[in-house]
Chain A
């Protein structure tokens, strides 16, 4: 079973993402900010990380930058979950090492499609 780490400071988004992915048969771990996610990522090895961008404590871009420095996450798909569809954020995300992004609002089907896409 593929392991996914879902990071969002909003509990409802976390639930929605978590529920959708669990229902689709993924093993989902949730974290509510970058710091928590980074700690979780160091313990468990995830096949995919989906992270919100704007979060307290540690934002999503910093999380992605940090994850890319870990050998285990060098080539792991890391997705940004963001309302900011502006070009700037995407550039920033790419240079931070993000694989891609999912733009809010999205529905469960779109989320699943994207997740299946990056997990092959």
Chain B
């Protein structure tokens, strides 16, 4: 039977990555001097499973490497070797390396990394140190196509099974069947050892057999039949050749007459013939509970549908059925809402999936910087959409790196300030309304207000005579072209600034806030929608068109009097709002259609956030606020500047969702503020 093993690879990759994750977290928890058995066992099991799977699915590179890990861990587990911090380091590095190896396998590219050879050497030399035993593993290669002993040989096999053979589920007759596959077999029962009936244990085996097998197969193959039982049984093999020379053979390889041949192609290689599919969609594990809830809900829907269907079949509708129809519709609405919520639940994962990588990160970077850091994780069970989670990890990593690098002080400095030597970084997650809040809090030095101000002036982001509150200065770090570190360190200065962090979060329809107190620490607060599929939107009308503006971006909406409007060019206008000048984008102009109000003084200005700048959008009218389901334009049409997607409204019409920063770029008003100042 041909079975394509590559169909199981995806599951193997996923469980291997999970295994590596638990390996990593156990390794980090581990007290190297007194490793707790359960932890070592968990780590061992992960390595062991990856090895077994990778060997089975033909990923020999991974299998060979994990074999080294497994051997070391096995010795530690059995107490034959004392665990050292060096081992811990090697194992942690291996976790990274294996991740990359698996990643390469998933992408079907060759894996090359000098680290592999380095680590292999380290493991080998670590294992060589007074290792008490090094069992070589032998693959049980099925030697199926043999041509080495073409001539038939007659084997006389004296088979005396152990008395308990049946109790292990072994059945001698099945072994004889197997021998028959190898050649011609004659079975002679020897019952001389049968005890008296009164002494007989019905579950024991007292019988012996003498087997005569004529076969062209080598002895190894015959022995394989008895492989499972050879320890408890007495088995003697005699060879009867043509010339009647008898030779007793006790061990494999002893007789000179037998030529061994080896064919060891045991691993089915997933070759290029693998199906061309492998969609990068990824998969998700869902608890049965959640699925059951869904099924339950669908059941309710079906009942409601049946009820409504019945009413629909009536020719006339009297008052009574009208009433039950209304009831049915209400039920339908409530079920649909529940169903929507449950479906969303399926994509929800606890944020611990994202938090998990931080203990390692904090440990490594803290060590590198010579800082003592305690990482506190809170609210790890808080659930979040899988896609949002995947996209928020990078910004979080950036923020934590920043806190470690710039926020936390070295132990000496901390002691000088009267703080404990060990700094702390807290990751906290919780739900608030329809959002998830993620806080990254450190008890470090806080932002250096003066330095930031000076930098911002140097970079031309603000002018010297601009009066700014401390908080306003702190917000400057989110501006494009701002880099805090005096000398760009290799940690934070990866060419990615806080502006990118902010932009990434904005792309998720989220916001980021910052509070910082000198010498007390900083707190970044990220607010994200629970899912990307649904958006809290404000519907606005411009002419005949309805648009959706993400609610999270809106500050306020107001009517502006004539005297607060400054026209700086034919198409660019500013409004003054509480000592601030805001550029105004006329939505109808950018999208090129009619509107009721063409002038700012007539219409309504909606103050929204665009890349940490406030701007105004001129619209005709505010409609309702509602949750809208986001439909991708790119999938169905093509990317449209200024529009992030579309949605279908209750009346069946399509409304475009405004991408504010895209719209601002479209209007070309990015530098309008400078004109005004």
Whether the Cβ atoms of B53 and A56 lie closer than 8 Å is no
Question: Complex Cα distance A54/B163, Å?
Answer: 29
Closest A residue to B5 by CB, please name it: A16
Question: Complex Cα distance A60/B96, Å?
Answer: 30
Whether the Cβ atoms of A54 and B45 lie closer than 8 Å is yes
Whether the Cβ atoms of A10 and B174 lie closer than 8 Å is no
Q: How far is the CB of A16 from chain B (nearest CB, A)?
A: 5
Q: 8 extra interchain contacts, Cβ-Cβ under 8 A, other than A86-B137, A113-B142, A118-B171?
A: A13-B49, A13-B53, A16-B5, A19-B8, A23-B1, A104-B55, A118-B169, A120-B171
Whether the Cβ atoms of A110 and B168 lie closer than 8 Å is no
Binding site for A on B (CB under 8 A): 1, 3, 5, 7-9, 11-12, 14-15, 42, 44-45, 48-49, 51-53, 55-57, 63, 70, 135, 137-140, 142, 166-171, 173-174, 177-178, 203, 227-228, 231-232, 266-268
CB < 8 Å: which of B45, B70, B268 contacts A107? B268
Question: Complex Cα distance A109/B167, Å?
Answer: 27
- CB interface residues, A 24-79, toward B, < 8 Å: 24, 54-56, 68, 74-78
Residues of A within 8 A of B167 (CB): 68, 74-75, 97
Residues of B within 8 A of A23 (CB): 1, 3
Question: Complex Cα distance A108/B142, Å?
Answer: 12
Whether the Cβ atoms of A85 and B140 lie closer than 8 Å is yes
Question: Complex Cα distance A117/B55, Å?
Answer: 24
Whether the Cβ atoms of A101 and B228 lie closer than 8 Å is yes
Question: Complex Cα distance A75/B173, Å?
Answer: 14
Question: Complex Cα distance A27/B267, Å?
Answer: 26
Binding site for B on A (CB under 8 A): 9-13, 15-16, 19-20, 23-24, 54-56, 68, 74-78, 83, 85-87, 90-91, 94, 97-101, 103-110, 112-113, 117-118, 120
Whether the Cβ atoms of B268 and A10 lie closer than 8 Å is no
Between A and B, 7 residue pairs with Cβ closer than 8 Å are A10-B52, A12-B15, A16-B5, A54-B49, A68-B167, A83-B51, A117-B178
Question: Complex Cα distance A78/B266, Å?
Answer: 23
User: Secondary structure of the B side of the interface?
Assistant: helix
Residues of B within 8 A of A91 (CB): 231
**A83-B51, A86-B135, A104-B55 known; A98 vs B267 contact (CB < 8 Å):** no
Closest A residue to B7 by CB, please name it: A19
Question: Complex Cα distance A87/B138, Å?
Answer: 11
**A100-B228, A120-B177 known; A105 vs B15 contact (CB < 8 Å):** no
Whether the Cβ atoms of A16 and B168 lie closer than 8 Å is no
Question: Complex Cα distance A15/B231, Å?
Answer: 32
Whether the Cβ atoms of B174 and A120 lie closer than 8 Å is yes
Question: Complex Cα distance A87/B137, Å?
Answer: 10
CB < 8 Å: which of A97, A99, A105 contacts B139? A105
Closest B residue to A82 by CB, please name it: B52
Whether the Cβ atoms of B266 and A110 lie closer than 8 Å is yes
Whether the Cβ atoms of A106 and B56 lie closer than 8 Å is yes
Whether the Cβ atoms of A83 and B55 lie closer than 8 Å is yes
Closest B residue to A120 by CB, please name it: B174
Whether the Cβ atoms of A100 and B267 lie closer than 8 Å is no
Closest B residue to A119 by CB, please name it: B174
Closest B residue to A109 by CB, please name it: B1
Residues of A within 8 A of B178 (CB): 117
Q: Inter-chain contact count A-B, CB under 8 Å?
A: 123
Whether the Cβ atoms of A56 and B55 lie closer than 8 Å is no
Q: How far is the CB of B345 from chain A (nearest CB, A)?
A: 22
**A9-B49, A83-B52, A91-B231 known; A103 vs B169 contact (CB < 8 Å):** no
Question: Complex Cα distance A109/B169, Å?
Answer: 22
Whether the Cβ atoms of B139 and A75 lie closer than 8 Å is no
Residues of A within 8 A of B168 (CB): 78, 94, 97-99
Question: Complex Cα distance A86/B7, Å?
Answer: 30
Residues of A within 8 A of B139 (CB): 85, 103, 105
Question: Complex Cα distance A117/B228, Å?
Answer: 12
Question: Complex Cα distance A83/B49, Å?
Answer: 9
Residues of A within 8 A of B8 (CB): 12, 15-16, 19
Closest B residue to A103 by CB, please name it: B140
Residues of B within 8 A of A16 (CB): 5, 8, 56-57
**A23-B3, A105-B56 known; A83 vs B48 contact (CB < 8 Å):** yes
Question: Complex Cα distance A106/B318, Å?
Answer: 71
The residue in B53, B228, B268 that gathers the most chain A C-beta atoms within 10 A of its C-beta is: B228
Q: How far is the CB of A93 from chain B (nearest CB, A)?
A: 9
Q: How far is the CB of A8 from chain B (nearest CB, A)?
A: 9
Whether the Cβ atoms of A107 and B174 lie closer than 8 Å is no
Question: Complex Cα distance A120/B177, Å?
Answer: 8
Residues of A within 8 A of B137 (CB): 83, 85-86
**A12-B15, A68-B167, A94-B232 known; A108 vs B174 contact (CB < 8 Å):** no
Q: How far is the CB of A25 from chain B (nearest CB, A)?
A: 10
Closest A residue to B140 by CB, please name it: A103
Question: Complex Cα distance A23/B7, Å?
Answer: 14
Closest A residue to B174 by CB, please name it: A120
CB < 8 Å: which of A10, A68, A74, A106 contacts B49? A10
Question: Complex Cα distance A33/B615, Å?
Answer: 59
CB < 8 Å: which of A75, A85, A106, A112 contacts B166? A75
Whether the Cβ atoms of A108 and B170 lie closer than 8 Å is no
Whether the Cβ atoms of B227 and A100 lie closer than 8 Å is yes
Q: How far is the CB of A102 from chain B (nearest CB, A)?
A: 8
Question: Complex Cα distance A99/B172, Å?
Answer: 12
**A99-B168, A108-B3 known; A54 vs B48 contact (CB < 8 Å):** yes
Closest B residue to A100 by CB, please name it: B228
Question: Complex Cα distance A98/B3, Å?
Answer: 27
Closest A residue to B59 by CB, please name it: A105
CB < 8 Å: which of A12, A97, A106 contacts B266? A106
Q: How far is the CB of A82 from chain B (nearest CB, A)?
A: 8
Residues of B within 8 A of A109 (CB): 1
Whether the Cβ atoms of B3 and A12 lie closer than 8 Å is no
Q: How far is the CB of A89 from chain B (nearest CB, A)?
A: 10
**A13-B52, A97-B168, A105-B56 known; A20 vs B3 contact (CB < 8 Å):** yes
